[in-house]
Structure formats: structure tokens, C-alpha cells
Amino acid sequence: MVQDKKEIAKAQDSESPHFPVWRAVIAGWVLVTIPVLVIILSVLMIGLSLVPNLWWIPMSIAVFLGWMWWAFTIPRWRRWALNRGANPDKLQRWGVITGLVWRKGSLFEKTEFRIDD
């Protein structure tokens, strides 16, 4: 929570030009969501070819690895967008609408690997 306030204040105080939220969201999808889908599908396909009768094992590993990628890259994406001047409120709102991030305070949102500056 404190980290988010620092990022917001830093973004608001910066003299950088306004960065469109739609660009940040597209970048988030390219850098976060698409790799998550690739990780999950790749691990699942490889796992099912190795142990087809135990489908739940590769499924669990695939979801875990995809989630770890998401949890690691989302805070970095958010910092990147805020440092470029994206509006923090709009960034959060459109991130939730597009499925890029979870609502603030949700259990899933708390799984992000926070960045210490």
C-alpha cells in the first residue's frame, strides 16, 4: 500500500508528458498476459504429452508458473507506466476492466511481488 502511494506521488510529481493509459494497457497485455498464456499452454501441452493420465499435475504446474510470471511482472509494468506519466487511477481502472490486474485489496492482488525502491 505504501509502495503504491510512493509510485502515485512520483508519477504525479514528475514533469513527464501524459502517457496514454491505452498504450500502457496494450503494453501490459503484450509483456504480461500473452507470456502468461504461452507459459500455461506450453507447460500444459508438454506435461500432457508426458503424463496424459495425470492431467492435474501439468495443469497445476502450468498455472503456478503462469501466476509467478504475472506476480513478478505486473508491479514492474505498473511502475513503468506510472514513471511515464500514466494516470494511476485510470491505469488501475482499465487494468481491472481488461483483466490485466485485480481490484485493489483483493486476495489475488496481494500475490504481486512488490518492488522495493
Question: One digit per residue, pLDDT tens: the chain, 117 residues?
Answer: 555 555 555 545 444 568 999 999 999 999 999 999 999 999 999 999 999 899 999 999 999 999 999 999 999 999 999 999 999 999 999 999 999 999 999 999 999 998 875
> Which pTM was predicted?
0.80
Burial of 76 (0-12, 13-18, 19+ CB in 10 A): middle
Domain assignments of the chain as residue spans, ordered by start: 20-111
CA–CA separation, 10 vs 79, rounded Å? 10
